[in-house]
Amino acid sequence: MLFAKHALGLEIAADGIKFAQLAGGKAPRLEAGLVAPFAPGTVQLSRREPNVQNAAAFMSQVREAHLRLLTKEKTVSVSLPDATGRVVLLDLEARFKNRDEGLDIIRWKLKKSLPFDVSQVHLDYQLLGEKENGAVSLLVSLISRPVVTQYEELLLGAGLEPKYLDFASFNLYRLFEPRLGMADNGAFVTFYGGAMTVLIFYGGVLSFYRSKETVGDAQNLYREVNSSFLVYNDRSPGQAVTEVFCMAPAGEAESFRALVAEACGLEPVLLDLERMVTLGSGLTMERGTLHSLAGALGAAFRSLA
């Protein structure tokens, strides 16, 4: 581990920030982590408008939390709530020559279906697969430029250098990818940070995405999970889910697993964060605190890859 690669992950949420510093290796090692709450009203999630309502308080909290980590790492991978942007699975009938042409085609394709001006959106995409007829399937991530620019500028103002920015659901997937990647036709269902997310893969390719801020009781959460599977089955007849994996905060994990089982009719595998990372020498951390760092850990994983 003498020459292990190090990475710093930061999760930003409406209620606060979470840092996780990892050292790479066969078993990634958590060297430091902390949770720092915001004062009420500091951040209000929005897809259209800048999220940070109190820039000075935001930068102060980020700067202070980073100092408490006692790390020299300033380059950081960032996890943002899915509610700050949009994710679209898109099929295009024709291939494109290069990335810039692909971006232009995607903007044209989506300009009438989005609730904001597509020219004011930061857009990125990933090729998921190609079909025999030449069509391509894409995973498209969109976030308003005012939203992402504000976060980038405030992090720079706090002394950090944001490298990657991604949505929480994909950073959670990244954290458990070694296990999830073994399932060709599987679903990954999470309840994290007040949001329910369902990712479904068929033939190893992402075929369904849904994320929703869930405020309410277990019955409402059940309806959202059940509805997600019903919509997927309607859209993709004959493409059955054969394995289901789930993740939730430590104190709610088992009850969430039971809820998902009832909603989808399969017995889910409850993913164990403790199997994905080890604690550094001398570091102690409550199980609940470790699980609350999942978004930051997933972001840090990206820089270790």
Is the Cα torsion angle 268, 174, 182, 276 positive or negative in sign? negative
- Region 194-209: what's the mean pLDDT? 95
User: How many domains would you assign to the chain?
Assistant: 3
Judge whether 177 lies within some domain.
Answer: no
Let me know whether 36 and 158 are in one domain. Answer: yes
Let me know whether 268 and 278 are in one domain. Answer: no
Let me know whether 64 and 157 are in one domain. Answer: yes
Q: What is the pTM of this model?
A: 0.93
For residue 294, give the CATH number of its domain: 3.30.420.40
Let me know whether 267 and 278 are in one domain. Answer: no
Judge whether 58 lies within some domain.
Answer: yes
Let me know whether 125 and 232 are in one domain. Answer: no
Inform me whether the pLDDT recorded for 1 exceeds 60. no
Quote the domain boundaries for residue 95.
Answer: 84-144
Q: Report the run of H or E that residue 304 belongs to, with start and end.
A: helix 294-304
For residue 118, give the CATH number of its domain: 3.30.1490.300
Q: Which residue has the tokens 């720092």?
A: 36
Model pLDDT for residues 146-170, shown as the tens digit of each residue: 999 999 999 999 999 999 999 999 9
Let me know whether 120 and 253 are in one domain. Answer: no
